[in-house]
Structure 1
Amino acid sequence: MAHHDRRGLPVSTRSGRAAAHYRDGVDLLLSAWPGAEDALDAAIAADPGFALAWAARARLHAMRTESAAARDGIAQAAACVARAGTERERSHVAVLSLAIDGQSGPALARALAHLESWPLDALILSLPLGAFGLFAFSGQPDHDQARVDLCERHAHAYDSEDWWFTTSRGWAHTENGAVARGRALAEHGFSLRRENANGVHALSHALFEDGAGTEAEALIAGWLPAYDRSGILHGHIAWHAALAALERGDADAALAIYASHVRPAVTAGLSLNVITDTVSLLWRLHAYGHAVPAGLWDEIRAYATPSFAQAGFGFADVHMGLLAAATGDRAAAQERIDALTALVEAGTLAPGPVVPAICRAALAFAEGDDAACARILEPVATEVVRIGGSGAQRAVIEDTLLLALMRAGETGKARALLDARLHRRPSPRDTRWRAQLTA
C-alpha cells in the first residue's frame, strides 16, 4: 500500500504508522507547535529507513541551532534516500542538506527549482518564506516581493482551505504592503487551525501593520495561555503584545509581559528570536524615554555573547550593535563595526554596508550625538530591508532615525517621515509624536 504526506505526495515507507506520525510531525513543525519532535521520532522508530522523517527531524534540530544533531540527521536521511527514494525525495533531502550546511544561496536556488516540479512540498516551500527564511536573509532589497511572487506562483497547487499555505501567503502579502489582503488571508488561515503559532504570529504582524495594536493585544491575551511555554514562538508572540502595549504608551504593561514571557531566563525561544526581541524592546523603551530596570541589559549580554560573538550574520549583528551601544560598551561596538566593515570590503556580508552603518548610528545615538546618528542613517534608510526579519522588527531602526531627527532639531525631516509612517501604518505613538512637532 502506498503512503502519502498531508498534501498527497508519495512517501517512501512501508509503514502506515510511520507515515501517519510523519504527517503529524510536519503539521506540528509547520505550526511551530510542541510535539513535532515526538511525532517525528515515532515515525523514525516505526521505520528507521524513512528518509523524509529523518530529514524533517534534522530541519527541526537546525531550527533550534542543534547543529551536530542536524548534520547527523540529514546524513541519515541522505543514506536512506540513496537506498530507497524517489526523485522528489532525493531533491527534498538535497535542499535541506544545503540549508543545514549553511549554504543559503545554493539552498534557495535549489529550493526554487525543486518547487517548480513539486510545489506541494510544503516543508521545502517553507524554507524561503518567513521573517527568518532564505529570502529574508539573502540580502536582497526586494525579498518581501520575492515571497509574494513565490506564493502566487504556486497558489494554484494549494486548496484554499490549506491552513499552512493560506497563513504563509497572508504573511507574505502583509510584509509586502498589501495589508488588507494579508490580514484577510491570515485571519482565514488562523480560523482553519487555531493550534498554530505561525498562524497567530502572521495575524499579529497583520494587525501591527494595520495599526490595530489593541486587537493584537486582545488576540494574544486570549490565545497565548493555550500555547505551552515550550513552544518556540511563545516568547516572540508575547513580544508582539509587549510591542503593542509600548505603542500605546504603557511601558509598565510592556515590561510586565517582558518579565513573564520574553526575557532570556523565561523563554524557550530560538536564540535569534530571544536576542532580537529582548534588545529591540529594551532599546525602544529607553529611546522612548522610559526607564529600563537594572540588570535587564546585563542578562541579555550574558545570554547573547556566547552565541553571537562572531560578526557575519547581519540581522544578529545589528542587534548586537544595539546591545553594545545601549550598555556603553564602545570597545565591543567598535570591534563589531570593524569586523563588519572588513566583511563588506571582502564582499561576504549579504546585506552589505547597511549593517555596519546601523551599528555606527546606534553608537552615536546612545552617546547622545543625534546629528551624527541621523547623518549616518538617512542615506541607508531604504537599505535597512536588506537585513531581513519583519517590518515590525526593522521598525526599531526607523524609530531611531526619527528620534535622532527630532532631537537634532530636524523638524521638517522628522515631520515628513512621520507623515509617511502614519499613511503607511497608523500608530498611536506616531500620532503623539506628530502632535508634539506641531505644538
Structure 2
Amino acid sequence: MAHLDSHDLPLSTVSAKAAALYRDGVDMMLSAWPGAAEALDAAIAADPDFALAHAARARLHALRAEPREAEARIAVAAAKAAANGSTRENNHIAVLRLAIAGQSREALTEALAHADRWPRDRIILGLPLGAFGLFAFSGMIDHNQAKAALCARHQAAFPEDDWWFLTYHGWSLAENGEVSRGRAMLEHAIELRRENANGVHGLAHALFEGGAGESAGALIADWLPDYDRSGVLHGHLAWHAALAALERGDAASALVLYTDRVQPSVSLGMPINIVSDAASLLWRIQAYGHGVPDCLWQDAASYARRAFPKAGHAFVDPHMAMLEAATGDSAALGQRIATLDEMCASGTLSAGAVVPAICRAAMAFANENYSACARILEPLAAEAARIGGSNAQREIVEDMLLIALMRADETKKARVLLDRRLHRRPSPRDTRWRAELAS
C-alpha cells in the first residue's frame, strides 16, 4: 500500500516509519514549531532514498538562512527523485531548487503552475504566501491581493477544518483588508492546532490591522510562554507584543521585551526577522521620543553587518539603512545607496527606486533634516509595498514620513495622513498625535 502525506498525496517511500516522521516534520515546519529538523532527519535515517524528506530538510535549511546546506540537500533530493520519485515529487523538488537558488521569478511562476496541478502540496503552495514569500518579494505593489486571490483559487481543495490553509488564507485576507473574516479563520486555525506559531503570528497581524493592539499583546502574553525560545518565531512574536506596548505609549515595556526576547544576542529567529525587528523597533522607540541605549544600536548594527554583508535585498536594505543612520555610519550608508542606485539603473532590483529612497530618507531623518526626509518619502509613500514584508512591518516607513511632517511643521499634511491612517486602522498612538496637532 502506498504511503501518503497528511493531505493524501502519495509518497515514494517504502517505510511507514519514514512517512509518519515526514508528516510530523512537515507539520512542525509549517507551524514554525520546534522539532521539525529532528523529525525530518529521522525520516531520512529510516529511508535514505526518501526524496521529499531531503527536500523538506532543504526547505528548512533555507528558512533558517543556511544556503549552503539547503543547496546541498536539495541536490540530494533531486538525485533521489530522479531515481524513484513521482512526477509530482520531481516537480516539487524542481520548484524548491529554483527558490533556494534565488531564482525567485522563475520559482514563483513554477510554484503557481504546480499549485494548479497539486493544490494540496502545501510546501509549494506556501512558497508565494506570507510576509517573506515569493509574492511579497516579487516587487509587486499588489502582493497582498495576489496572496488572497491565490488562496481563494485553491480554497475548495482543502477541508474547512484544515489548520494550515486557514492560517494562510486568514492572514492573507487580513493583510488585504478583510480583517474580520481573516481574524475568524486564524482564531479557528489556532483552536484546531494550538501548537501553531504561524497561526498566532497571523492572528497578531490581523489584530494589528483591526487596531486591536491590546488584544494582540494579551494573545502573545498568554501563548508565548508555551513556545520554546528555540522556536523560530519566538523573538518576532515578542516584537509584536512590543509594538502593542508602543501603541499604548508604554515604551519602557517595549524596551524590556526587546532586550529580553528580540535583540540579536537572545533571539534564535531567522536573520531577516532579527535584523528587521531590531531596526524597526529601536527606530520607532527613538522616533517616538524615547531613549535607546547606544549599545543596543551598536549590537544590532554589528549583527546585521555579519548577517547581510551585501546590499541588494529590497526588504533588508531599508532596515540596514536605519541601523547605519542611527549609529552614524554614513560611509556604509552612502555605499549602500550607491549600490542600490546602480541596481535600479540596471534593472536588477525588482522593487525599484523606492528602496534607495527609503535609505536616503532614513539618513535625512537621523540628521534631523525632516523637510528633506518628507520630500523624499511623500512621492513614493504608496510604493513602499514593493519592498515586501507585512503591513505592520512596512508601517515604519509611513511613521518616518508622518513624524518628519510633524517635526517640519507640515501640520496640514500630517493631519491628512493621520486621518487616512485612522480611517484605515484605529490606533491609540495616532489618536494621541491627531489630538496634539488639533490643539
Distance of 1:146 and 1:227 partners within structure 2? 31
Matched residue type, 1:300? A
For residues 406 and 73 of structure 2, the distance between their equivalents in structure 1, rounded to whole angstroms, comes to: 52
1:356 alignment partner AA: P
Q: Is 2:159 the partner of 1:159?
A: yes
Shift of 1:293: 1.8
> Which residue identity lines up with residue 105 of structure 2 in the other structure?
G
- Counterpart of 1:50? 50
Is the partner of 2:435 in helix, strand or coil? helix
- Alpha-carbon distance in structure 1 between the residues aligned to 2:261 and 2:147: 30
What is the TM-score normalised by the length of structure 2?
Answer: 0.99
Q: Which residue of 1 aligns with 2:258?
A: 258
Alpha-carbon distance in structure 1 between the residues aligned to 2:399 and 2:428: 14
| Mapping for residues 89-108 of structure 1, pairs under 5 Å | 89-108=89-108
Which residue identity is paired with 2:391?
G
Mapping for residues 184-223 of structure 1, pairs under 5 Å: 184-223=184-223
Counterparts of 1:357-368 in structure 2 under 5 Å?
A: 357-368=357-368
Structure 1 counterpart of 2:169: 169
Indicate the residue corresponding to 2:231 in structure 1.
Answer: 231
**Distance (whole Å) between structure 1 residues aligned to residue 224 and residue 335 of structure 2:** 39
1:246 maps to what in 2? Answer: 246
Per-residue deviation at 1:294? 3.1
Give the aligned residue type for 1:437.
L
Determine the structure 2 residue equivalent to 1:28: 28
Deviation at residue 184 of structure 1 after TM alignment: 1.1
Match in the other structure for 2:304: 304
Structure 2: how far apart are the matches of 1:217 and 1:305?
31
Bigger drift between 273-282 and 178-187 goes to: 178-187
Query: Is residue 399 of structure 1 aligned with residue 392 of structure 2?
Result: no
Distance 2:7 2:365 in 1: 50
User: What's the counterpart of residue 313 of structure 1?
Assistant: 313
Whichever residue aligns with residue 60 of structure 1, its letter is L
Residue 338 of structure 1: CA displacement?
0.6
Letter in 1 for 2:365: F
Output one character per residue of 1:201-230: Cα deviation in whole Å (capped at 9) or x when no partner.
000001111111111111101100100000
Partner SS, residue 314 of structure 1: coil
> For residues 98 and 196 of structure 1, what CA distance do their matches in structure 2 show?
27
Question: Residue in 1 aligned with 2:7?
Answer: 7
* Residue of structure 2 equivalent to 1:80: 80
* CA–CA separation in structure 2 for the residues paired with 1:99 and 1:129: 13
Q: Distance in 1 between matches of 2:380 and 2:294?
A: 33
Answer with 301-310 or 16-25: which moved more: 301-310
Partner residue, 1:426: 426
- Mapping of residues 274-313 of structure 1, within 5 Å: 274-313=274-313
Who is 2:113 aligned against? Answer: 113
Tell me the CA shift for residue 87 of structure 1.
Answer: 0.7
Per the alignment, in what secondary structure is the counterpart of residue 313 of structure 1?
coil
The alignment status of 1:337 with 2:334, answered yes or no, reads no
1:309 is displaced (CA, Å) by 2.2
**Distance (whole Å) between structure 1 residues aligned to residue 375 and residue 267 of structure 2:** 37
Separation in structure 1 between the aligned mates of residue 303 and residue 215 of structure 2, nearest angstrom: 32
SS of 2:74's partner is helix
Q: 3-state DSSP class of the match of 2:160?
A: coil
Give me the CA root mean square deviation. 0.6
Q: Secondary structure at the match of 2:294?
A: coil
Query: 1:108 offset after TM fit, Å?
Result: 0.5
How far off is 1:94 after superposition?
0.3
1:39 has 2:39 as partner: yes
User: Which residue in the other structure is 2:347 paired with?
Assistant: 347
Shift of 1:39: 0.5
- Deviations along 1:98-140, one digit per CA (max 9) or x if unpaired, are 0111111100000000011000000101110000000000001
Tell me, what secondary structure is at the counterpart of 2:297? helix
What are structure 1's unaligned runs of at least 5 residues? none
What is the CA deviation profile of residues 77-104 of structure 1, one whole-angstrom value per residue up to 9, with x for unaligned ones?
1011001111111100000010111111
How far the C-alpha of 1:354 sits from its partner, in A, is 0.1
Q: Deviations over 1:62-85 (max 9, x none)?
A: 111111111111011101100111
> Distance in 1 between the 2:306 and 2:195 partners?
33
Identity percentage over the alignment?
63
Distance 1:83 1:352 in 2: 42
TM-score, normalised to structure 1, is: 0.99
Instruction: Output one character per residue of 1:113-168: Cα deviation in whole Å (capped at 9) or x when no partner.
Output: 00110000001011100000000000011111000110000000000100000010
